[in-house]
Amino acid sequence: MKIVLAPDSFKGSLTAQQICDAMAEGVCRAYPSAEVVQVPMADGGEGTAAALVAATNGQMRYVNVEGPIGDTVQGFYGILGSKCDMLTAVIEMAAAAGLPLLLSKKRNPLKTSTYGVGQLIKAALNEGVGKFIIGIGGSATNDCGCGMMQALGIKFLDADGHKIRERLTGGNLRRVADIDARTLLPAAKESSFIVACDVENPLLGPMGATYTYAGQKGASDTDKIELESNLSHIINLIEKATGCVVRNKAGAGAAGGMGAALMAFLDAKTHRGIELVMSESHFAVHLQNADIVITGEGRLDGTSVYGKVVGGIAEQAVLQHVPTIVLAGGIGKDAHNILNKGVAAYFSICTGPMSLEYAQQNAHKLIAESIEQIIRLFCCGKVLNK
């Protein structure tokens, strides 16, 4: 029997690879002779670099960069090991400018910058990378990617024509009076950029970067008015400097407007994160002749089929007539909707009353035990259907 394991990470607990290992342990207990294929997954957010590095036998790189409020953090990026026409890096913007890097009391998109993301890109360029996959989930910023572009050589000028040297943030974009896009690093100009993005928000308006996401980044209602005004100001200058009108493109509002910057300055193309990860990891090939695929995420609910790992896995599995089982840390509202999208069944690792802290600390054990029972039940069903 061939079993494919393709979970997302359980945020705050285990990485996708660690979950694969726990699942494999459970499979081995129930069916020691099973062929187990591990393909750790991600949807463009946390864990994307690790998933793609694991899937391609690549390598991780660790670099000290500026965090969202200017302190030093250890960022990282992955170098893919698969054979391709050019050296490829995968970067999670959250590794340098993500919410988890800040305590709740320090979250304020008026003061956060994406400068460190640009430093990660620059480090990879110095290594000879010519193709980038950028995951832009989990941002703490609303600077329209301008901090990132500062690190990549773009000159942002004040009203006197002087280069602005302080890091651009969501709160000081109004200082910019002009942009010289000609100063972009030559290596960046010559590289290709793909954005792993699961949101379709435009940059501005009620569905844009500020009014949809800034609140969860620490912005008050008053802050949102200022942030929206600043985004409107800077996008006028960006579009003038690059000749690219991007404000209304799907994904322009992702990561506080970083999507817009990547499109305008670097001609980036956007793709659904899970589709990109499945493509780069050759998931369809791994799925061939499988008897079952098991995926999972930390919390399963009615939105899990929309642009996330569970939905992407189920879509592909249906095409190959492979049943999909989902294992989750918790089950939320409308989770049953996934049964209409190709999922055969779903289960929680929580076998009884327990705290979130206990579940997270004992996730490996709970996952292994749950998978053992799922495989025993699956094998029993196969016997009865003969």
Q: Is-contact 19 296, C-beta < 8 A? A: yes
Q: From residue 66, how far is each of 118, 124, 143 by CA, in Å?
A: 10, 16, 15
CB atoms inside a 10 Å sphere around CB 174:
11
* Cβ partners under 8 Å of residue 285, min gap 6: none
Confidence at residue 386, expressed as pLDDT on a 0 to 100 scale: 56
Same domain for 211 and 296, yes or no, is: no
Q: From residue 376, how far is each of 30, 327, 330 by CA, in Å?
A: 6, 15, 22
Q: Is-contact 382 34, C-beta < 8 A? A: no
* Angle, helices 309-319/273-280, rounded to nearest 10 degrees: 60
Domain span at residue 9 reads 2-41+282-384
Task: Give which of 139, 188, 169 is closest to 234, Cα–Cα.
Answer: 169
Task: Give which of 139, 62, 88, 59 is closest to 279, Cα–Cα.
Answer: 88
pTM: 0.85
Same domain for 197 and 182, yes or no, is: yes
Same domain for 155 and 265, yes or no, is: yes
Same domain for 261 and 286, yes or no, is: no
User: Which residue bears the tokens 């600077």?
Assistant: 143
337: tokens are 């909707």
CATH of the domain at 24: 3.40.50.10350
Give the whole-angstrom CA distance, residue 213 versus residue 227: 11
Q: What is the pLDDT of residues 246-271, one digit of tens each?
A: 999 999 999 999 999 999 999 999 98
Q: Left, alpha or beta for 12 (phi > 0: left; psi -120 to 50: alpha)?
A: left
CATH of the domain at 63: 3.90.1510.10
Confidence at residue 372, expressed as pLDDT on a 0 to 100 scale: 96
Lowest mean pLDDT among 157-166, 243-252, 271-280: 271-280
* Cβ partners under 8 Å of residue 320, min gap 6: 284, 287, 288, 290
Q: Is-contact 135 42, C-beta < 8 A? A: yes
Give the whole-angstrom CA distance, residue 188 versus residue 151: 11
For residue 159, name the pLDDT band (cuts at 50, 70, 90): very high
Q: One-letter amino acid identity for 271? A: H
Q: What is the pLDDT of residues 23-67, one digit of tens each?
A: 999 999 999 999 999 999 988 888 889 888 887 889 999 999 999
For residue 199, name the pLDDT band (cuts at 50, 70, 90): confident
Q: Which of 273, 298, 313 is the last residue of a domain?
A: 273
Structurally, the chain folds into a number of domains equal to 2
Higher pLDDT, 197 or 179: 179
**For the chain, percent of residues with pLDDT exceeding 90:** 73
Same domain for 311 and 362, yes or no, is: yes
CA angle 223, 227, 232 (to 5 degrees): 150
